[in-house]
Amino acid sequence: MSTPARGTLPRASGPRLADPILQGVLAAIAASVLLLIGFFFVKLILESEPAFEHTGVVDFVFSNNWVPSRGQYGALPLVFGTLLTSALALVIGVPVAVASALYITELAPRRVRGPLTLLVELLAAVPSVVYGLWGIFFLAPKLLGAEKWFSSTFHFIPFVGGSPAIPNYFVASLILAIMIIPIVSAISREVMSTVPRDHKEAALALGATRWEMIRIAVLPYSRAGISGAAMLGLGRAIGETIAVTIVIGNAAVIGDTVFSQGYTLAAVIANEFGEAASDPVHRASLIAAGLLLFILTLVVNLVARYSVTRAESAGARKVPVGMAG
């Protein structure tokens, strides 16, 4: 190597083109994500076209007759099942998840925080199909007695009464509730940890008890984030497939009670795609069900992302710089 002229440094060895090439390749990979999602969406719309032609968009979504053997594809029972199970899952799962997040971040002794977090996260490590296996062979039969008692005692409540089936909406909702606890809890914990320490200490210094501190400092501050977490959980519950397919009974009707067998959009896709292979309209209808599911989760997730990011960036801004602790 020749000695450089005085005052200049030697140019780095290696091909000059390497830099633009690397940048180009990485940009292409990033762009392929955009193209992929675009292609995904377009393909879903194109392939579900025959279904909408056969049934009509409005009838597809709002008519209550899913009988593939007679060529009737009204997805209302599936939409109903999806909305009912995920709404019930939220009602059951979110309070538990938020309470666990509160306990872990604010109340638990420091020593047990790590282990408790780990245990709640373990719930997320159990595969969907294993939840289904456990749900149908343990949970559903065990719950039957309680469901019978509940529906005969509270038969005056709408959607309660009759004789419960073993696989039913309620069992599916309960399994979904268990499955969304880890994600809702994790995001709630994250949001609660952005609550400024001086807000909490101010509440305590004014003589608030721990619970009053939570109510006046922690909860108001993290409310947007917690609702975002619940929405993310809702997105998960809407799209969950295999566990629900196993425990919901797969009956394409709007059940009379929460203890009736039902169906969801995701479950119908998993169950019927095999028989639909030979019937283009049936296949297109399943893809249309998928499109519906996709749009549903997309809307829910975008709302969720929006409120979580807003909550977290608000948290980041309000933490005073240079405060002790």
Binders of another protein among residues 84 to 143 (CB under 8 A) are 95-97, 99-100, 102-104, 107-108, 116, 119-120, 122-123, 125-134, 136-138
Q: Report the residue number, 199 or 305, with the smaller CB distance to another protein.
A: 305
Tokens of 112: 């047990």
Which residues inside 50-79 make contact with another protein, applying CB under 8 A?
none
User: Following DSSP, what letter does each residue of 200-215 receive, concatenated?
Assistant: HHHHHHTT--HHHHII
Could you tell me how far CA 129 lies from the centroid of its own chain?
A: 16
Q: Please state the closest distance from residue 245 (CB atom) to another protein, in A.
A: 8
235 binds another protein (CB under 8 A): yes
Q: Report the residue number, 76 or 214, with the smaller CB distance to another protein.
A: 214
Sign of CA dihedral 181, 80, 247, 70: negative
* Rounded Cα–Cα distance for residues 246 and 261 (Å): 11
Which residues inside 171-200 make contact with another protein, applying CB under 8 A?
178, 181, 185
Q: Where are the alpha helices (H) located in the chain, listed in sequence order?
A: 18-55, 57-62, 76-102, 110-125, 128-134, 140-153, 169-192, 197-205, 210-213, 219-239, 242-247, 265-276, 280-318
Q: Report the residue number, 34 or 70, with the smaller CB distance to another protein.
A: 34
207 binds another protein (CB under 8 A): yes
CB-side neighbour CA atoms (13 Å) of 141: 5
Q: Please state the closest distance from residue 286 (CB atom) to another protein, in A.
A: 8
User: Interacting stretch for another protein, rule CB under 8 A, among 149-157, 207-215, 252-260, 313-321?
Assistant: 207-215
Per-residue exposure over 254-275, b if at least 16 CB sit within 10 Å of its own CB, e if not = bbebbbbbbbbbbbbbbbbeee
How many Cβ atoms sit within 10 Å of the Cβ of residue 176? 31
Q: Report the residue number, 36 or 146, with the smaller CB distance to another protein.
A: 36
User: Interacting stretch for another protein, rule CB under 8 A, among 51-59, 144-152, 287-295, 312-320?
Assistant: 287-295
Which residues inside 258-277 make contact with another protein, applying CB under 8 A?
266, 269-270, 273, 277
205 binds another protein (CB under 8 A): no
